[in-house]
Chain A
Amino acid sequence: MEALIDRSARRRPGRTRRFVAAVGIAAMAATAALTGCSPSSESASASKTIKVLAPPDTSGTMQKLIDQYNKDHSGGTQIEWQTSQTDMSAYFDQLRTQFLANSVDADVVIGDVTWAAQLADSGWVEDLSDRFPKAEQDKFLKGGMTADSWKGKVYGVPWFNATAYLFYRKDLLAKHGFTAPPATWDELETQAKAVLASGDVTAGYLMQGAKYEGLVCNAAEFVWNAGGDILDPADSTKAVVNSLDATAGLAEMRKLVDSGIAPAASTTFKEQENYTQFFQGDALFMRNWSDFYRLVKDPSVSKLTADQVGVASLPVTKAGTKSSSTLGGWNLFMNASGKNKDAAWDVIQYFTSEQAQKIRAVDGGYLPTRASLYDDADVNKANPLTVIGKDAAFNARSRPVTPYYSDASLAMQDSFYKIISGAQPAAQGASELQTSLNKVVQAK
């Protein structure tokens, strides 16, 4: 009780001080407003705030970039970070609801790679084609630009990339006499069988086979790396997944589980189960995202050393096919109903500039979206993936681009899950998926 009284008594002078400060600020604001009225001053741009809606950032580099910008522009445009939800699908559900209600007050929205067409088709994000000329676009990796384009116009600027790699155990392959990581699925099976037979690991190949977005990424890679595709690249309203090539890829996905090279529980795995098992030393191969490469240095996760772990492009079905992996990563969009579009564009340019991306790549371990940074010595040194994983980063492909991606994803999850769990043969699954995808992308 006494402490309470004491504290309130102590607080009083503080309050007075705050009151004085408030009056002072109000007076300053009034003066600013008055001078703002005079014709000589350059509009009211002095106190512009650009709100950026983005998920929390554990690397700390986002805050660093914002602080830097605000310092450089003190007295001018300032960036305010509105943190969104961490879970991207929950964030997207919420964002769509807010856009519908016209209640997104952020000027810049940071979002996932599959959102561009959906946001653009609804007219929620600004067409950036005029501000973002072709010559400038060409400096970015192609996968991200495909994902951010819709009907010939560009709606987003890629901020960082995430790409999938084949992680492999260098030491175990060497021990069993294999000199290189597998280039084809057949080679992978041979190597895995040999190592599994020795009992060195219990899992040959780890992938994300639970029924969620991750499965779509994994299955899309099997399709692409067999030479197939999901939607016609020339016509996004036409599904082409029911082809011999695509079916062969999907059959390979099931075969890995069926033959015991991938554990039976593959149909329940997400990223975390996979990298936990791999870094505990209990798997030979793993398909996982670039983000997790840095975990090899984290002794609380990894029993392995960096020398034991290699990364390579994903295997393909037939030797000679170009290997692709799914593109992930975030992009910057401009709210179409924002009021300060020029200032917002300035902020977007700042975040995606070479300089800012370099900070993110060196301090945060993110893969840049600008091709030039993959030849930057500092980036290469801090982030070895930009060297050993350069090919995969350059060949990363975006998932089907359609304004109905959410529904397309649900349909793909359904069919791919039936195939990987053995409930449907690959051919039947691919044929049914073609029918259901066509319904979705043609919005029937």
Chain B
Amino acid sequence: MTSTATLHRPRRIKESRALPYLLIAPAVAIVAAVVIWPVVQTVWLSLYSGTIRNTGDFVGVENYQTLFADPDFLRALSNTGVFTVCSVAVELVLGVAVALIINRGFRGRGLVRAVTLVPWAFPTAISAIMFRLMFSDPNGLLSWVAYKLNLISQPILGSQDLMVVAAVIVDIWKTTPFVALLILAGLQTIPGDTLEAAAMDGAGAVQRFFRIVLPLLVPSILIAALFRTLDAYRVYELFWVMGNRQVDSLSTYVYEGVRVSQLQFPTGSAASVFVFITAFIIALFFVIALGARRNKA
């Protein structure tokens, strides 16, 4: 019993109570220096009217009011929202499908698995340039096909809406392999005998998938969704490079404010605080969802 131990050796215990804190102190100090301090600093900046050249005055939430009244910011927010929801949803569905396929035993499976990962291995900026060329008018392949199929009536790269759609397509192409990889790892932890037993009991393939495989995959799917949602939410290169600065995501909006402009620095700071808080809420949501599942199990 610990209580008796406490009575017998009070001094040693007192030491060991301080010890954990001492041991953890360096880690806390590092986290405070590299994470908490910059966050506090940015929040602070977002409450001042300073630009890159002067410190400015305390203006309270005025920067946030300017921010939410700025149509460019609202557009960036809706672009990012649409992009995140659409790309993550499709990537999860396709990711599960791809994982199921490459989990089956067939000849050349190793090769197929490797090839599937190729799009993911491309640096985003490079694939963004590649697709920009394919979407360009009049020489782009994808643009030409879309015109022939009567899918579009105007240049893709000339329309904000079409560019968001294009960004979703590129992101799906690029990151589905990553989702598939995470889900494949989950698939491989599902014991074969469970599936065999279900088959013996007369469960069909569809039943086995929805009753056994999918429920057991939920933790993997949640983790994949967490990674992808946060990644998609802070999308930068794809919009900046492929959209050629013509279509804003939240991250490009922040960059334009704090780096390109000289006067919109405070609004940019406010926007970056907004991105931080909302991304934090998204992360929290997934962490709680994951925790809830684990507790149930």
Residue of A nearest to B247 (CB): A211
Distance, CA A264 to CA B137, complexed state (A): 9
Cβ of A404: which chain B residues have Cβ within 8 Å of it?
Answer: 262-263
For B138, give its contact among A100, A265, A406, A440 (CB under 8 Å).
A265
Contact (Cβ within 8 A) A407 B137 = no
Contact (Cβ within 8 A) A407 B244 = no
Cβ of A232: which chain B residues have Cβ within 8 Å of it?
Answer: none
A46-90: CB near B (< 8 Å → 1, else 0) gives 000000000000000000000000000000000000000000010
Interface hits, A203-221 → B, CB 8 Å:
210-212
Distance, CA A384 to CA B209, complexed state (A): 74
Cβ of B154: which chain A residues have Cβ within 8 Å of it?
Answer: 264
B109 contacts chain A at the CB level, 8 A cutoff:
no
B136 contacts chain A at the CB level, 8 A cutoff:
yes
Q: Which of B176-184, B253-261, B289-297 contacts A (4 or more CB under 8 A)?
A: B253-261
Contact (Cβ within 8 A) B246 A407 = no
Distance, CA A100 to CA B264, complexed state (A): 17
Contact (Cβ within 8 A) A410 B260 = yes
A369 contacts chain B at the CB level, 8 A cutoff:
no
Residue of B nearest to A267 (CB): B158
A268 contacts chain B at the CB level, 8 A cutoff:
yes
B50 contacts chain A at the CB level, 8 A cutoff:
no
Q: How large is the interface on B (under 10, 10 to 19, 20 to 34, 35 or more residues)?
A: 20 to 34
Contact (Cβ within 8 A) B260 A421 = no
B157 contacts chain A at the CB level, 8 A cutoff:
yes
- With A264-B158, A265-B155 as known contacts, state yes or no: A410 contacts B261, CB within 8 Å: yes
B9 contacts chain A at the CB level, 8 A cutoff:
no
- Consensus secondary structure, chain A interface: helix
B52 contacts chain A at the CB level, 8 A cutoff:
yes
B218-257: CB near A (< 8 Å → 1, else 0) gives 0000000000000000000000000011100000000010
A443 contacts chain B at the CB level, 8 A cutoff:
yes
Interface hits, A188-243 → B, CB 8 Å:
202, 210-212
B53 contacts chain A at the CB level, 8 A cutoff:
yes
The residue in A89, A211, A263, A265 that gathers the most chain B C-beta atoms within 10 A of its C-beta is A265
Can you add 19 more A-B contacts, CB < 8 Å, to A264-B137, A264-B158, A407-B263? A93-B259, A96-B52, A100-B52, A100-B53, A118-B262, A122-B53, A210-B157, A210-B244, A210-B246, A212-B246, A263-B137, A267-B157, A268-B137, A268-B158, A404-B262, A404-B263, A406-B260, A410-B256, A440-B263
Enumerate 22 A-B pairs (CB-CB under 8 Å) in ascending A order.
A89-B260, A100-B52, A100-B53, A118-B262, A210-B246, A211-B246, A212-B246, A263-B138, A264-B155, A265-B155, A265-B158, A267-B157, A268-B155, A268-B158, A406-B260, A406-B261, A410-B260, A410-B261, A414-B72, A417-B246, A421-B158, A443-B263
A-to-B contact residues, CB < 8 Å: 89, 93, 96, 100, 118, 122, 202, 210-212, 263-265, 267-268, 270, 273, 277, 404, 406-407, 410, 414, 417, 421, 440, 443
